[in-house]
Amino acid sequence: MTFGNSPCLGSKWGEEYFRNIEKFLIETGMNCFEHDGSYPGDKCASTVHPGHRGLDDSQWTQFYKIASLSRRGRCCHDRAA
């Protein structure tokens, strides 16, 4: 683990989390949000999460997921804690 026990963004929960963020931004008319930095992407050994195949790709796919919000302009500022 990188930063303790963090939820896997490649899990069903993680996919729903990102759907909810996008839905919120669309429904409120907001075009960006501020957060406290990129998710560190702890490794996850699950082989049944829809967002990754297993331990070897889990950290990369979680990082990619959070970074994609910034690339699409959904994060207007990353604040370092």
Higher pLDDT, 23 or 79: 23
Judge whether 6 lies within some domain.
no
Which residue type is seen at 51? Answer: G
Number of domains in the chain: 1
Q: Does the pLDDT value for residue 1 go beyond 60? A: no
Residue 61's nearest CA partner among 70, 72, 73, 49 is 49
Judge whether 31 lies within some domain.
yes
Judge whether 28 lies within some domain.
yes
Judge whether 42 lies within some domain.
yes
* Assigned token pair, 11: 């899990």
Higher pLDDT, 57 or 74: 57
Judge whether 34 lies within some domain.
yes
Model confidence pLDDT, tens digit, residues 33-67: 776 655 666 889 999 999 999 999 999 998 888 88
DSSP 32-43: -EEESS------
Which residue type is seen at 9? Answer: L
d(CA 22, CA 72): 11
